[in-house]
């Protein structure tokens, strides 16, 4: 889909990757003008391939985000392809914790997972190559408690208590939180709140400014939206100049 400046495309993963990958997507500023954008936490871990007329090709891994962040400019002519991962991928696909890059990013070497600048020439081929690479790293076994834990978290859109999750997967709340903090640098409760915030953006994008998720009341809803976006729901829904890129992507997909 497109607005006047930005071309956006999203592809869902093959079923074999469903536990680990949320989506593949691309963002291309086809205009002659730079665009200012603001990022919002969405509960995903992003692996970016990026280049622009002014900057060389690079690969970056974005850690868990817990607050709005200034992504700055999408430069004129810039192109980025991305794999958005679910958290379970950190342990089983990347095989290395990312707690040290919470609200931050890490530049990876060119050639990481055999990616290079040529992979930005065709989005469909990129998706196919990324799918094959991730499939080659799929684990033989997954801790069933962890698989069930994330299944319940995602199915509820974060609207489930730590206590309920602990009882459902037979894993103590203390152990779950230790796992979250060691692997991702955030608590389970924080992650659930982020997923509930993300789910609320679908309603806000439609102009619905009252809570439709599991918030205590309107004041709680406003407080949580402002906590993660920096603005109240009414201002967020206006999304002036499409600066909140996550909210814009929901509009473009509709």
- What is the Cα–Cα distance from 219 to 43, expressed in whole angstroms? 23
Choose one of 111, 136, 161: the last residue of a domain: 136
**pLDDT at residue 30, rounded to an integer:** 87
Give percent above pLDDT 90 in the chain.
62
Residues 129 and 192 in one domain: no
pLDDT in tens, 30-47: 888 887 778 889 999 999
Neighbours of 190 (CB within 10 A): 18
11 and 128 share one domain: yes
**% of the chain beyond a pLDDT of 70:** 90
Which CATH number is 33's domain given? 2.60.40
Indicate whether 1 belongs to any domain.
no
Q: What is the pTM of this model?
A: 0.90
What is the domain range of residue 169?
144-253
CA dihedral 2, 8, 14, 16 (to 10 degrees): -150
Region 165-184 average pLDDT? 96
The confidence score (pLDDT) of residue 252 equals 47
Distances (CA, A) of 146 to 111, 149, 173, 196: 30, 5, 13, 20
Same-domain status, 198 and 132: no
Condensed to tens digits (0 to 9), the pLDDT of residues 47-73 reads 999 998 888 999 999 999 998 876 566
pLDDT of res. 254: 40
Last residue of a domain, one of 101, 116, 136: 136
User: Can you give the pLDDT at residue 80?
Assistant: 94
The verdict on 51 and 123 lying in the same domain is yes
Q: What is the mean pLDDT of the chain?
A: 89
In this predicted model, what pLDDT tens digit does every residue of 99-158 receive, in sequence order? 999 999 999 999 999 999 999 999 999 999 999 999 999 999 999 999 999 999 999 999
CATH code of the domain in which 176 resides: 1.10.10.60
Last residue of a domain, one of 115, 136, 157: 136
Q: How many CB atoms lie within 10 A of CB 199?
A: 17
Provide the pLDDT confidence category of residue 1 given band limits of 50, 70 and 90: very low
Supply the angle between the helices 173-184 and 188-205 in degrees, to the nearest 10: 70
> Which position has the higher pLDDT, 122 or 202?
122
């Amino acid at each position: 889909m497109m607005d006047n400046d930005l071309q956006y495309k999203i592809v869902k993963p093959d079923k074999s990757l469903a536990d680990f990958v949320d989506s593949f997507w691309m963002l291309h500023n086809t205009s002659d003008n730079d665009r200012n954008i603001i990022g919002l936490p969405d509960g995903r871990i992003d692996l970016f391939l990026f280049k622009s007329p002014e900057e060389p090709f690079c690969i970056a891994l974005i850690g868990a985000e817990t607050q709005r962040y200034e992504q700055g400019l999408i430069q004129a002519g810039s192109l980025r392809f991305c794999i958005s991962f679910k958290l379970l991928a950190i342990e089983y696909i990347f095989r290395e914790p990312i707690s040290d890059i919470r609200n931050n990013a890490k530049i990876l070497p060119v050639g990481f997972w055999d990616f290079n600048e040529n992979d930005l020439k065709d989005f469909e081929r990129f998706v196919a190559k990324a799918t094959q690479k991730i499939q080659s790293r799929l684990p033989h076994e997954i801790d069933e408690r962890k698989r069930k834990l994330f299944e319940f978290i995602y199915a509820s859109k974060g609207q489930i208590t730590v206590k309920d999750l602990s009882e459902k997967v037979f894993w103590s709340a203390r152990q779950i939180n230790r796992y979250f903090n060691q692997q991702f640098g955030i608590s389970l409760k924080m992650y659930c709140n982020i997923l509930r915030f993300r789910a609320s953006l679908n309603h806000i994008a439609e102009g619905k400014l009252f809570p439709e998720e599991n918030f205590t009341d309107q004041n709680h809803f406003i407080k949580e939206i402002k906590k993660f976006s920096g603005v109240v729901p009414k201002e967020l829904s206006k999304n002036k100049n499409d600066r909140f890129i996550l909210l814009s992507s929901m509009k473009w997909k509709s």
